[in-house]
Structure 1
Amino acid sequence: MEVVIAAPDELARLAADAVERLLVARPDAVLGLATGSSPQLVYDELARRHAERGLSFAGARAFLLDEYVGLPADHPQRYRNVIGADLVSRVDLPPGAVHGPDGLAVDLEAACAAYEAAIARAGGVDLQLLGIGTDGHVAFNEPGSSLASRTRIKTLTRQTRQDNARFFGDDADAVPRRCLTQGLGTISAARHLVLLATGVGKAQAVRQLVEGPVSARWPATVLQLHPHVTVLVDEQAASLLELADHYRETYADKPPWQGL
């Protein structure tokens, strides 16, 4: 696990560098896209590179981490619509290239199985962007989730719904109570995981993710078992890391050609 501590705009640049390097090497790469506040600056940077430098997504495919259950197809907080506004409408991803779990399916269990199969048919995810919740969840894998879990139906905790209330007019009761989410096992199958976290509110979750024991109590800790994980955090999110100076020194001495 590589930990990089820098300002949010630099973190976004580094994540965008990783995506760009992948797309240049493999124009048909499979991307894993996260929603929420954490990746927003990354999408802004990727959109800028597309507009100003011609970075192309035309051959790529993408999969979303999760989706609320029951939100109408035109709801602005439906994650297919969120990622459409944040990234898809700003680059040249072709129609039908971005896939998400079907939160409006009549048979939700079948929809989860179909989503797992679709990721497998695509050859798996090459680079997965991630955020982390204040309770250590990634995607919607709440505390107690199996570290080997696959795409499934989950009930959101009150904490997660409160955290997401800002997207629903600060009304936690307006946040759906159920979702479909890639499991921790599904996420762990991606070849490169890039997690971003900023702000003091994420500091405890980041400390557990990087330096705590692997435990379902803090689901993100499963990332410690992955062979290629990059954790991008600002000074506030890194404020509880005991080995912060070590991470800074290691990154400062990294060969510039190596990338993330």
Structure 2
Amino acid sequence: MRVLEVSNYEEMSALAAELIGAQVLLKPRCVLGLATGSSPIGTYERLVEAHREGRLDFSQVRTVNLDEYCGLRGDDPNSYRFFMDHHLFSRVNLQRENTHLPNGAAPDLEEECHRYEALIQSLGGVDLQLLGIGRNGHIGFNEPSDSFPPVVHTVQLTESTIQANSRLFERIEDVPTQAITMGVGTILKAERILLIAGADKRYILEEALTGRVTPQVPASVLQLHRDVTVIVCREE
């Protein structure tokens, strides 16, 4: 595991984009695992800049996102499909049919979980998985629990996660309480993992990277992966 400390969010975003861009250059038909939330927005901005300057070509890249809210269609402004379209997909030359997220509006969520897990494996697995980390140590929407979920599954969001995500909604009552997420086992199958974290996550990040491996701190499982790079900010 490599832990890279940078001064601020801008440096973190630039370095993360460089690492993702290197993956695309190394393997143009790679599979990128992508994340949502505030942490990766700057990274996506840098990737868009690189594309516009002719330094990155996404035409062959396939993407799979970590998660999606249950009950939201892809055209809902609060959905993660909408987020990805807005911040990345529509701004580079990704082929829409090569961008994949769970369908949170599927009539049978259990079947959708099976479908999405199979889809990821059918693509040959993830070459580089981008992650953030929650204040309670969650990765994707894998909340603290008694075990590490092995595959894509639905999850009941904790009150702390709902509170954290409520800033993106008009009312906290509008925040979905369930999501479909890659399982910890699914995430660990990625060839490489890149985790980015702001200064406000330093406490939980230290616990995850140096404490015991436990599903009560889901990110702690990353200690077991063979190729993890962590970029953390010293200040906001």
- Number of the residue aligned with 1:35: 36
Offset of 1:199 from its aligned partner? Answer: 3.0
Question: Which residue in 1 is equivalent to 2:159?
Answer: 158
Secondary structure of 1:59's counterpart equals coil
Residues 142 and 149, structure 2, Cα contact 8 Å, conserved in 1: no
2: CA distance between counterparts of 1:8 and 1:210? 20
1:93 aligns with 2:94: yes
The CA deviation at 1:90 is: 1.0
**1:85-107 CA distances to partner (integer Å, 9 max, x unpaired)?**
01001110012111011111111
Name the CA distance, whole Å, in 2 between partners of 1:85 and 1:232: 24
Q: Does 1:11 align with 2:19?
A: no
**In the alignment, which residue of structure 2 is the partner of 1:197?**
197
Instruction: Work out the CA distance in 2 between the residues paired with 1:186 and 1:45.
Output: 27
Structure 1 55/232 Cα, relative in aligned 2: closer, same or farther at 3 Å?
same
Where structure 1 has 5 or more consecutive residues not aligned to the other structure, the ranges are 238-260
Report the 3-state secondary structure (helix = DSSP H, G, I; strand = E; otherwise coil) of the residue aligned with 2:4: strand
1:16 is displaced (CA, Å) by: 1.2
SS at match of 1:154: strand
Mapping of residues 157-196 of structure 1, within 5 Å: 157-169=158-170, 171-196=171-196
Residues 128-165 of structure 1: CA distance to partner in whole angstroms, max 9, x if unpaired? 11000000000000001632521001000000000000
Unpaired segments of 5 or more residues in structure 2?
none
Of all paired residues, the percent bearing the same amino acid is 43
Compute the displacement of 1:25 (Å). Answer: 1.5
Q: How many residues were matched structurally?
A: 235
Assess, with a 3 A threshold, how the Cα gap between structure 1 residues 145 and 63 changes in structure 2: closer, same or farther: farther
Contact 2:73 2:103 in 1 (8 A): no
1:57-96 to 2 correspondences below 5 Å:
57-96=58-97
- Residue matched to 1:258: none
| C-alpha contact (below 8 Å) 2:106/2:112 kept by paired residues | yes
Q: Spell out, residue by residue over 1:229-255, the C-alpha distance to the aligned partner (whole angstroms, 9 max, x if none).
A: 011100148xxxxxxxxxxxxxxxxxx
Instruction: Specify the code of the residue in structure 1 equivalent to 2:161.
Output: T
CA RMSD of aligned residues (A): 1.3
Corresponding residue of 1:232: 231
Please say if residues 153 and 180 of structure 2, whose CA atoms lie closer than 8 Å, have aligned partners that are also in contact: yes
Instruction: Give the partner amino acid of 2:120.
Output: I
Runs of at least 4 residues off by over 3 Å: none
